């Protein structure tokens, strides 16, 4: 502690202190990444270790691919419109 004028005390903080909200967010991000990595590793291991793993399809249907692409682009445009409306106060 350092002395401060008029009888007050100045508290010196640790240079390594981290706000609890920031630490919690980083712990969540790290745990999420580890969980996702473990799931991907388990899938890869099972895929390689199982000799008779079935192939879902030989080639992707162009109709299926076009439909999924359209849905993805439409949802992205909807989100963009929502963000713009939110910024505009609507």
Reported as a single tens digit per residue, the pLDDT across 24-67 is 999 999 999 999 999 999 999 999 999 888 877 777 789 999 99
For residue 76, is pLDDT > 90?
yes
pLDDT of residue 18: 78
The stretch 78-83 carries a mean pLDDT of: 94
Q: Are 32 and 38 in contact (CB under 8 A)?
A: no
Q: How far is CA 25 from the centre of its chain?
A: 11
What pTM was estimated for this model as a whole?
0.47
* Element spanning 84, H or E: helix 62-88
pLDDT of residue 45: 95
pLDDT of residue 55: 76
Show me where the domains of the chain are located.
Answer: 20-50
In this structure, is the dihedral angle defined by the CA atoms of residues 40, 43, 49 and 52, taken in order, positive or negative?
A: negative
């Amino acid at each position: 502690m350092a002395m401060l004028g008029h009888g007050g005390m100045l508290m010196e903080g640790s240079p390594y202190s981290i706000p609890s909200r920031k630490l919690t967010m980083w712990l969540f991000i790290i745990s999420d990444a580890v969980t996702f990595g473990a799931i991907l590793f388990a899938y890869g291991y099972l895929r390689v270790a199982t000799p008779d793993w079935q192939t879902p399809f030989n080639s992707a249907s162009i109709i299926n691919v076009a439909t999924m692409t359209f849905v993805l682009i439409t949802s992205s445009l909807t989100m963009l419109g929502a963000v713009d409306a939110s910024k505009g106060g609507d």
